[in-house]
Chains A and B, each alone.
Chain A
Amino acid sequence: MSGIGSGITGEMKEMTYAFPIEGGDFIKAGHASSNIKKILNQLSLDPAIIRRIAVAMYEAEVNVVAHAYRGSMKVFISPEKIRVRVEDEGPGIPDIEKAMQEGYSTASEKVREMGFGAGMGLSNIKKNTDKLDIRSTINKGTVVEMTTFTKPKEA
């Protein structure tokens, strides 16, 4: 991964981390997000910004666990933004607009009993990221790319 955006001084490099996500493994859901949060905590970023991206990462991770067969979470950290790319092999999302609506969920009863499937995942992601891009192919999978800027937008 080279060629990060403009405005970054010479020696500042983009750091990349990747974590696998197992579909159906609810016990481990949140594992990748927790690991990445620990990395972010060491970077002296604003804790409020870390919490925003942590919420987005967790929701994206749970979506893979709940709906896909397997996937991965890649995180690209640069001084000005944190970009997270969650990719899965799964059924895909037939209607992204509908899936974005709060309260809409296709999660199973078992999953809901555990407290997942409130239909708030994608809206939580939207609220906690500055840029969100979702691409999905039926019977193939979904790619969710989200970016949170490390400093207030207008700064």
Chain B
Amino acid sequence: MRIEDIIQELGITVFTGGTLLQRPVRGAYVSDMLSDVMGRAKESDLWVTMQTHKNIVAVASLKDVTAVLIVNGGKPDEDTLALAESEKIVLLGTHEATFTVCGRLYQLMERDAMV
């Protein structure tokens, strides 16, 4: 599955990395605690979080996650957007809450036998 497939199916906003949406997504991890993500997320995961500050870019880039999906209509600030662009990190957004978007994401991945 690619990022663009998820965007299309779930109606997601692209904040940064519009040219990188062919990147493969192999799984997902959900957490707002950065160390939890550092410890347990896997390479090429989609990371779902409500955090919007600049450090999500560092975590995403150090762990090589495919993209960060910000829930609850959260918007990254200008600093975060600029850093994400320069670090080639895909930042996505949804107005849905974590539970809802993850339910839909799980269905999608189940359909593709990813979970």
Contact (Cβ within 8 A) A55 B79: no
Given contacts A114-B51, A114-B53, A115-B51, whether A34 and B35 have CB atoms under 8 Å apart is no
* A118, B34: Cα distance in complex, Å: 8
Q: Assuming the A-B contacts A47-B64, A51-B64, A121-B35, are A58 and B54 also in contact, with contact meaning beta carbons closer than 8 angstroms in the complex?
A: no
Interface flags for A54-75 (1: CB within 8 Å of B; 0: not) read 1101110010000000000000
Task: Name B55's contact: one of A30, A48, A51, A123 (CB within 8 Å).
Answer: A30
- In the complex, which range does the number of interface residues on chain B fall in? 20 to 34
Complex CA gap A115/B32 in Å reads 6
Question: Is residue B115 contacting chain A, with contact meaning CB distance below 8 A?
Answer: no
> Is there contact, CB below 8 Å, between B39 and A34?
no
The answer on a CB contact under 8 Å between B53 and A118 is no
Interface string of A101-114 (1 = CB under 8 A from B): 00000000000001
Check if B58 is an interface residue, CB within 8 A of chain A: yes
Known: A27-B79, A34-B87, A114-B51. A55 touches B58 (CB 8 A): no
Residues of chain B contacted by A62 (CB below 8 angstroms): 34-35
Q: Which residues of B contact A119 (CB under 8 A)?
A: 35
User: Which residue of A has the minimal Cβ distance to B64?
Assistant: A51
Residues B35 and A27 in contact, CB atoms below 8 Å apart: no
Please name the residue on chain B nearest to A27 by beta carbon.
Answer: B54
B39 lies within 8 A of A114 (CB): no
A120 to B58, CA, bound (A): 17
**B61 proximal to A (CB < 8 A):** yes
B33 / chain A contacts, CB cutoff of 8 Å: 115-116, 118, 120
CB distance from A107 to the nearest CB of B (A): 10
The answer, yes or no, to whether A37 is at the interface (CB within 8 Å) is: yes
A37 touches B53 (CB 8 A): no
Partner of A59 from B32, B38, B54, B61 at Cβ < 8 Å: B38
Q: Which residue of B lies closest to A30 (CB)?
A: B58
Does A140 have its Cβ within 8 Å of any Cβ on chain B? no
Tell me the chain A residues, 106-150 only, with Cβ under 8 Å from chain B.
114-116, 118-121, 123-124, 127
8 Å CB interface, B19-76 against A:
32-36, 38-39, 43, 49, 51, 53-55, 57-59, 61-64
What are 6 A-to-B residue pairs whose CB atoms are below 8 Å? A27-B53, A31-B58, A51-B64, A116-B35, A120-B38, A121-B35
Chain B residues near A (Cβ < 8 Å): 32-36, 38-39, 43, 49, 51, 53-55, 57-59, 61-64, 79, 87
